């Protein structure tokens, strides 16, 4: 039966390929989402790691309350006199203080703040040491390091805005707009790009004045002597710290820096995986509908097998094997399609102005491969169960009967009741997610998604009852305009309401998905505009 099932797939190459597309898209969306978010996470990790270049420990401000969701300008500072105490510690080879902000606005010739894309990226500003410092992650492309009343800007900003060394540029951070001289153009030493962000670097006194942090520091980067470990260095520094300062190893500080971006990446992953799930849901409808049509066309073939001695279990197994082969093939293709999709999503984000850091496509784990394969195969198998069970009900006598059709399923009469229960349950779950107080964001999204899924299934189950009335009304213009062809089309849609409803349900969900994506995209763009 295995050979028979595979031979059947090969004999219907076009239909097999068209059916597989639905699974390819769903699996591609899932694997592409994992690749995309892994690539973004890897890019941010490299940026934060490069930013801590040369550091073995980092001293930062400490607040008495949680400032994780506060503006960067509210980040606690500490007195710069701590720097001299740190340098006196026996395990310290070198230490350097700095201040920073994410609101260092560079202003162009037209008086507008320089920003790229949708404007959500930060305008990074920080004090910067000269190129001899082990803590400096940047390298000069042109010019010199900044002195008093000077600034260095990143290569991308200089190129896109046609800025050069020696020109004046206006900068606003805290207080009035200041005019500074561009002393140099810089980039990350590793060649990394930072998405849509801009960079403005100043010497420490100029940065402290612009950021309104005179006599204060945001951080102290510390390098240990060769014989001192990171843990020993932290242990030496901790006793001299005031109450408003704390110390971490460089690795711990990188993890802390990445925590905010990790929450964004998790949201983006969940957001895109939801669309992958919807695509697979649509794919399940397409597969079930395609297999149902195929089985209806193969009624005499399956009946002949029964006459030759094939049991119901063998017929069931042959259909399941077809679905399994289809699922494996489509899922493997979907994995490779996911790589192209991830690359395309990077380009799409750039096109709409949501510029993200990109160091190339990477897999951080095999989770994407395993999850995408299992989901694609499982969805295909589940979608094939109903047509497969229906195939076992083909009687042997159908082999000699022209135009034989399968009898109604045992529980066909309960379809309307099940549809009503599904729809009511979906509305209840949706209402619970929207109106129930005290639910978290994930819980709200879960109940809304679950309710919507139940409503879709309910409508899909009930839609077969609407086919004949709708075909009678909507088919009337077709019979008048199309003549015999229109009459044939109307009668064909009414002849098998279940098949017509299944096809329409897949289209219904697909159009809903397109509308949802368009609405969400418009909302996101409008929120940044």
Number of domains in the chain: 2
Euclidean distance between CA atoms 477 and 464, whole angstroms:
21
CA 48 to chain CA mean position, Å? 21
Pairing of strands 78-79, 150-154: unpaired
Q: What is the pLDDT of residue 66?
A: 52
Q: What is the pLDDT of residue 69?
A: 45
DSSP output for 232-284: HHHHHHGGG--TTEEEEEHHHHHHHHHHHHHHHHHHHHHHHHHHHHHHHHHHH
Q: What is the pLDDT of residue 306?
A: 72
pLDDT higher at 40 or 445 = 40
Q: What is the pLDDT of residue 498?
A: 72
Q: Is 353 exposed, middle or buried (0-12, 13-18, 19+ CB in 10 A)?
A: middle
> 110-163, pLDDT tens digit by residue?
888 888 766 567 888 999 877 678 888 888 999 999 999 999 999 989 988 889
Is position 458 within any domain? Answer: yes
Domain-terminating residue out of 256, 271, 291: 256
**Which residues on adjacent β-strands are paired with residue 123?**
103, 198
pLDDT higher at 81 or 494 = 81
Q: What's the whole-number average pLDDT of the chain?
A: 80
Euclidean distance between CA atoms 329 and 287, whole angstroms:
14
pLDDT at residue 403 tops 80: no
pLDDT at residue 399 tops 60: no
Is position 148 within any domain? Answer: yes
DSSP E strand boundaries for 54-122: 57-61, 78-79, 92-98, 100-101, 105-107
Cβ partners under 8 Å of residue 56, min gap 6: 222, 223, 224, 228, 230, 233, 249, 250
> 149-193, pLDDT tens digit by residue?
999 999 989 988 889 999 999 999 877 899 999 999 998 877 677
pLDDT at residue 329 tops 50: yes
Euclidean distance between CA atoms 292 and 164, whole angstroms:
67
Q: What percent of the chain has pLDDT over 70?
A: 83
Q: What is the pLDDT of residue 74?
A: 56
Spatial contact of 373 and 60, defined as CB atoms under 8 Å apart: no
Q: Span 344-371, mean pLDDT?
A: 73
pLDDT at residue 425 tops 60: yes
Is position 407 within any domain? Answer: no
Is position 231 within any domain? Answer: yes
Q: Span 392-420, mean pLDDT?
A: 63
Is position 343 within any domain? Answer: no
Q: What is the pLDDT of residue 373?
A: 87
Spatial contact of 136 and 52, defined as CB atoms under 8 Å apart: no
> 263-287, pLDDT tens digit by residue?
777 777 777 777 777 777 777 777 7
Q: What is the pLDDT of residue 411?
A: 55
> 199-247, pLDDT tens digit by residue?
999 999 999 999 999 999 999 999 999 999 999 999 999 999 998 899 9
Is position 521 within any domain? Answer: yes
Q: Which domain holds residue 170?
A: 55-256
Task: Provide the token pair at 56.
Answer: 């073995």
Residues written for the chain: 529
pLDDT at residue 296 tops 70: no
Is position 92 within any domain? Answer: yes
Domain-terminating residue out of 200, 230, 256: 256
Euclidean distance between CA atoms 252 and 256, whole angstroms:
6
Domain-terminating residue out of 213, 239, 256: 256
Q: Span 427-433, mean pLDDT?
A: 88
Grade residue 70 by pLDDT with cuts at 50, 70 and 90.
very low
Q: Span 33-47, mean pLDDT?
A: 83
Is position 273 within any domain? Answer: no
């Amino acid at each position: 039966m295995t050979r028979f099932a595979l031979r059947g797939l090969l004999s219907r190459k076009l239909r097999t390929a068209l059916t597989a597309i639905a699974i390819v898209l769903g699996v591609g969306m899932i694997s592409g989402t994992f690749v995309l978010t892994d690539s973004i996470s890897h890019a941010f990790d490299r940026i934060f790691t490069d930013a801590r270049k040369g550091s073995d420990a980092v001293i930062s401000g400490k607040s008495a309350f949680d400032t994780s969701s506060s503006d960067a300008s509210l980040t606690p500072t500490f007195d710069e006199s701590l720097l001299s105490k740190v340098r006196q510690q026996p395990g310290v080879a070198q230490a350097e203080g700095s201040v920073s902000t994410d609101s260092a606005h560079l202003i162009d010739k037209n008086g507008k703040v320089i920003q790229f894309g949708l404007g959500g990226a930060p305008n990074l500003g920080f004090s910067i040491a000269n190129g001899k410092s082990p803590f400096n992650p940047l390298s000069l492309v042109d010019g010199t390091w900044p002195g008093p009343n000077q600034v260095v800007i990143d290569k991308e900003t200089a190129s896109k805005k046609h800025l050069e060394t020696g020109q004046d540029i206006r900068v606003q951070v805290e207080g009035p707009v200041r005019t500074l001289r561009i002393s140099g153009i810089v980039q990350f030493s590793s060649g990394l790009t930072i998405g849509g962000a801009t960079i403005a670097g100043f010497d420490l006194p100029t940065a402290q004045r612009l950021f309104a942090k005179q006599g204060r520091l945001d951080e102290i980067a510390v390098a240990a002597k060769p014989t001192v470990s990171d843990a020993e260095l932290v242990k030496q520094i901790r006793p001299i710290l005031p109450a408003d300062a704390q110390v971490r190893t460089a690795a711990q500080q990188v993890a802390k820096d990445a925590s905010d971006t990790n929450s964004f990446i998790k949201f983006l992953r969940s957001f895109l995986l939801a669309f992958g799930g919807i695509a697979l849901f649509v794919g399940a409808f397409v597969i079930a509908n395609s297999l149902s049509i195929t089985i209806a066309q193969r009624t005499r073939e399956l009946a002949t097998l029964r006459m030759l001695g094939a049991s119901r279990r063998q017929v069931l197994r042959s259909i399941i094997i077809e679905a399994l082969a289809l699922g494996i093939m489509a899922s493997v293709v979907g994995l490779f399609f996911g790589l192209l999709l991830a690359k395309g999503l990077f380009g799409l984000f750039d096109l709409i102005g949501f510029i993200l850091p990109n160091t190339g496509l990477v897999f951080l784990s095999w989770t994407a491969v395993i999850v995408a394969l299992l989901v694609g195969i499982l969805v295909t198998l589940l979608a094939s169960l109903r047509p497969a069970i229906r195939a076992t009900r083909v009687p042997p006598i159908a082999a000699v009967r022209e135009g034989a059709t399968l009898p109604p399923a045992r529980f066909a009469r309960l379809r309307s009741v099940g549809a009503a229960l599904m729809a009511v349950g979906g509305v209840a779950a949706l209402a619970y997610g929207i109106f129930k107080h005290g639910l978290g964001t994930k819980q709200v999204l879960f109940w809304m998604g679950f309710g919507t899924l139940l409503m879709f299934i309910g409508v899909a189950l009930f839609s077969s009852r609407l086919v004949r009335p709708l075909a009678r009304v909507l088919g009337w213009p077709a019979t008048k305009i199309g003549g015999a062809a229109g009459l044939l089309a109307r009668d064909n849609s009414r002849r098998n309401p279940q098949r017509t409803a299944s096809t329409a349900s897949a289209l219904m969900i697909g159009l809903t998905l397109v509308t949802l994506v368009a609405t969400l995209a418009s909302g996101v763009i409008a929120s940044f505009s």
